[in-house]
Structure 1
Amino acid sequence: MSTAEGRDGGKSGIYLSPVAQRRTEFGNACGGLFDDLQLADGAERAMERIAAGQPDLLVIDLDRFEPAIDLAALGDLVARRGGAPTLLLCPYATARWVPALAAFGPVAYAVTPVDAAALQAAVAQALAAPAPQSAGTADAERLRALLALHTRVQAALRAADDIQGLAEGLCRALAGWPGVRHAALFHRKPDGDLQLEAQAGSEGGEGGAPALALQTLLGRPDRLLQTPLRHAFPGLLAAATGELVLLDTLDQAGEPDLAALLRTHGVAMALGIAIPADGPGAPRGALSLLWERSHALAPEEFAALQDVAAQAALGLRLAEMALENEQLLARVTYVSTMDALTGVANRRHGEELLEKEIRRARRYRVPLALVAFDIDRFKAINERYGDPVGDVVLRSVCEAAQAVLRGSDVLVRSGGEEFQILAPHTSAIDALKMAEKVRVAIAQAAIPGADHVTVSLGVAQLGEQESADSLVQRVNAALARAKRAGRNCVELAMQ
């Protein structure tokens, strides 16, 4: 099909779209800018027409094309242009087309949807330009800004020691890019939803615009995939779809209230770029950038953003691995030091803590007490009610004892039904009072599936030159006297 309704400079062009209605609309809107406009419904037809004669402008409307299917064919069209202008009409929600096709040759772009007047202006500008700006012709100021961004991002990665620190550092680095009003990082949590991990920006934009807080704008700081703006705000949309999302006109997302609020905060353009996952699956999150002015991003700027997103993915993975290692170490430590049944310190850990507390007591010349107790007639409980009830008794005794102990006291399971209490900064007299509270609390404790139980206790204070073994022997001797005295009582160890 050929359109020849305006002879403005004898320009020729090809418009490519698989949608018949869009071909008609483009011909009606922009046909007057060309002496000869060819309308093509596929890449093969467009290639035939380029082979017949190189047009002044190739316009590729990317709506309804799929990157996974059509990239090679469309990229070949760009490559065959030999540097002649190519204008991409790119849907805002799939802006990754732009850097992908820019790899084949120089391109200009306009983000859609656009009205007829804006479309005419974009086509006229592309026709007037000898060739879109590429990385080889980027001005020195832009290159310096990209180099500075790279330096700041690398510094943020080196300085980060956790996810929060990494996110804050990356946001500060991106917010330092000239023209960026605000930068944020959204992170996908283990439950699959998004959280605003960090944000940074200038305190006021052009005209004294107020500071921007995304948690206020979006209505919440977490579970952001459930906010009504998840389909419109570029950072959220990028994190949900894995796409590069670009609004160079805020109204393109179809949310006038959001657009008006962003303008109030000095924002004219918004971009979201997904932070890729390790493999197939949902993105790790997204970077969000808000600019004070709308402008076309050069291919090297898109490349820089994709590089930052890739580095963010690596940094987040390393930080997550570090957190996983910390949690694993904490779990291993817990398993190796705590009694699995009762959740109190096990015998080995108790012995280590006792040695540590003895050294501390000697160094600072403070008292240290040790209380030993065991459950009276525990064997008979097991025989009468069974081992499962015996386990309940052990847990209930520990819960009752811990309820009356101080935060600095340590309860240790030293044997089957035998326990110790390490009581720092505690004299023998105070330890006797503590032991009596424990005895009463356990005697009054209700135990599911069994009668009330009692305990016998021994108390000893560390001697001036006494070893841990000696202290344990003395407190166990006191415990034995309590047993002989009729059980359910407290005895003080002899010096």
Structure 2
Amino acid sequence: MSQQDGTPTRPTGLYVSPVGQRRGVFQEACAGLFARLRVADSASQASLLLEREPADVLVLDLERFELGLDLESLGRLVAARAGAPVFVLCPFANARWLPALMGFGPLDYAIGPLDAAQTRAVLAARLAEGFTRPAQATPLEAELRGLLAVRSAAQRALEEADDSVRFAERMCEALSVWPGVVHAALFHLRDGDLHLEAEQGATRLQLAPLLLRGDKLLHSPLRHAFPGLLAAASGEFALLDALGKAGEPELADSLRGHGVEMALGLPIPAQGPGAPRGSLCLLFERARAFSQAELGALGDLAQLAAFGLRMAEMTRENEELLGRVTHLATTDALTHVANRRHGETLLEQEIRRARRYRLPLALIGFDIDRFSNINDTYGHPVGDLVLRTVADTAKALLRSSDVLVRSGGEEFLVIAPHTSAIDGLKMAEKLRAAIEQAEVPGCDHVTVSLGVAQLGETESGDSLAVRVNAALARAKRAGRNCVELAMQ
């Protein structure tokens, strides 16, 4: 692009855009920068034009190109340049194009939207520089050390991946190590909306007031302009190298007031198709170009964040599953009180506690009088209703420290800590009276017989249960609907 006497000469150029209006505007604004400027509406047409006559500079305007459809064809154009200048105009809301195209060969870029005058000024500057931008250069040793420090810190954040909030906090701390970053945030899509899981920065910047919402961030009026929200909502890499390009002057002024000049939003990919898990958001103190290695590192960090959030989700799912399994294993399905096996375990625990602290412990046993007649007369569905009514009535009377256990078909136990024999008798009488008065739809009133025993000094749980059952049997023989105290 220079003659032998050192006088610069204008290069030839080829501009590629699928939008006719943009091709016209570019020709009108930038044709004077080139000795000859041709335009093409597709990668295939550009290839044909380049075969007929090479161009010194290839300009790819990515507005309206589709990454999934056009990447390969545009990538072949970049690869065919063999290092010759390629200049890319990339929309800020779809910066995912940049690392994808850089995989085919070196290129320089500018982030849009740019008007005609801005496009001409940026392109003129690049032509004057000879396209020797940092984006094409090998990262300096300091940059590589910075990348390694960020990646290492992010990997250590996985140690907290059992909890999404702690992991997000550690991840933001790691991202803050990136050179030039003044603020880092992690947005997490959960419970049907987007949440600011964590943020970290050298300034006092807090994103919630800035984004005009503390929660439900997918409904923020700035979701189209702030890269962190845009990336989480659209799944696209968003890069604002000039804050005014988002079209929100108040947002831009607020960010600049906290020393921010560039914002980046990186979607955290989901497992399989669908909306992303959220996004990483980096705010920089100055605008800068990224090398291919840096863009690749950003992609790796997003994958790492996805892995950490998935681990946190799996931990929470496992805990919920364990809770459900434990509930099923320890709870009677019909009455929703402790089942027999769990009751035996709880009784042994209370016996050990009573012995250790020298406290009284009472055990109350009761069963429903003539329950088999209820099933025979009214049917098993009514019998089930009787069992639930008796259990609910008993639970309503018991203290929070007492435990109701279904120990058999119509048999129940009450484990009553801090309770003497006399207090146990009073409790049993209250249970008897309340159950007798309880209304059972489709059935006459029911009664229960009860036995009460206090734990002896050296007594086992089995022995205590035997004495309670003996007292219960005496109550049955005494005419039912009464309470008997167990003998020592």
With the length of structure 1 as denominator, give the TM-score of the two structures: 0.91
Cα separation, partners in 2 of 1:172 and 1:478, compared to 1, 3 Å:
same
Identity across aligned pairs (percent)? 62
Secondary structure of the 2:318 match is helix
Structure 1, 381-390 or 392-401: larger mean CA deviation:
381-390
Match of 1:207 in 2: none
Q: String of CA shifts for 1:199-228, please: whole Å, max 9, x gaps.
A: 2222x2xxxxxx233333334444332333
Check if 1:357 corresponds to 2:373.
no
Q: Is the aligned partner of 1:374 residue 2:375?
A: no
Partner letter of residue 90 of structure 2?
C
Counterpart Cα distance in 2 of 1:449 and 1:114: 78
Shift of 1:319: 2.3
Over residues 237-257 of structure 1, what are the superposed CA-to-partner deviations in whole Å (9 max), with x where a residue is unaligned? 222222111122223233334
Separation (CA, whole Å) in 2 of partners of 1:243 and 1:173: 22
Residues 394 and 39 (structure 1), Cα distance of their counterparts in 2 relative to 1, 3 Å cut: same
> CA separation in 2, counterparts of 1:444 and 1:222?
50
Q: Name the counterpart of 2:476.
A: 483
Measured after TM superposition, the shift of residue 421 of structure 1 is 1.0
Aligned residue for 2:173?
172
Give CA deviations for 1:329-380 in whole Å, capped at 9, x if unaligned. Answer: 2222111111011111101111122222222322333222111112233333
- Tell me whether 1:32 sits opposite 2:29 in the alignment: no
Contact 1:84 1:131 in 2 (8 A): no
Instruction: Give the secondary-structure state (helix, strand or coil) at the position aligned to 1:278.
Output: coil
Write the deviation string for residues 28-55 of structure 1: whole angstroms up to 9, x where unpaired.
2222222222222221232234344543
C-alpha separation between the residues in 2 aligned to 1:198 and 1:42? Answer: 43
- Is 1:417 the counterpart of 2:418? The answer is no
Indicate if the aligned counterparts of 2:168 and 2:198 stay in contact, CA closer than 8 A: yes
Aligned counterparts, 1:99-110, within 5 A: 99-110=99-110
Conserved? CA contact 2:134–2:290, under 8 Å: no
Contact 1:106 1:132 (C-alpha < 8 Å) held by counterparts: no
| Residue in structure 1 matching 2:229, options 233, 236, 247 | 236
- Structure 2 counterpart of 1:360, one-letter code: R
Structure 1 residue aligned with 2:43: 43
Cα deviation, residue 176, structure 1: 2.6
- Residue among 220, 224, 227 paired with 2:220: 227
8 Å contact kept, 2:347–2:461: yes
Unaligned 5+ segments in structure 2 are 1-6
Q: Which residue of 2 aligns with 1:112?
A: 112
Amino acid at match of 1:153: A
Match of residue 154 from structure 2: 153
1:212 maps to what in 2?
205
The more displaced of 127-136 and 318-327 is 127-136
Q: What are the equivalent positions in structure 2 for 1:63-142 lying under 5 Å apart?
A: 63-127=63-127, 128-134=129-135, 137-142=138-143
Aligned CA distance change for structure 1 residues 142 and 410 (closer, same or farther; 3 Å): same
- The question of whether the paired residues in 2 share the 8 Å contact of 1:85 and 1:132 is answered with no
TM-score, normalisation: structure 2: 0.92
**1:310, distance to aligned residue in structure 2 (A):** 0.8
The answer for the alignment partner of 1:393 in structure 2 is 386
CA 1:49–1:131 in structure 2 vs 1: closer, same or farther (change >3 Å)?
A: farther
Read off the aligned partner of 2:392 and give its amino acid letter.
E
Aligned to 2:440: 447
Name the CA distance, whole Å, in 1 between partners of 2:431 and 2:294: 69
Partner residue in 1 for 2:201: 201
Q: Is the 8 A contact 1:247 1:271 kept in 2?
A: yes
Structure 1 residues 81 and 348, CA, compared in 2 at 3 Å: closer, same or farther? Answer: same
Secondary structure in 2 matching 1:137: coil
1:95-154 deviation line (CA, Å, top 9, x unaligned): 101110011111121111112332123212321234333576212222221111011101
Structure 1 Cα separation of the partners of residues 54 and 134 of structure 2: 20
- 1:135 and 1:59 mapped to 2: Cα distance? 15
Write out per-residue CA displacement over residues 145-198 of structure 1, whole angstroms, 9 at most, x where no aligned residue.
Answer: 111101110110134322222222112211232222322222222x54323222
- Which string of whole-angstrom CA distances, capped at 9 and with x for unpartnered residues, describes residues 291-339 of structure 1? 2322222222211111011111122222222222222222221111110
Q: What is the CA–CA distance in structure 2 between the aligned matches of 1:216 and 1:488, rounded to whole Å?
A: 66
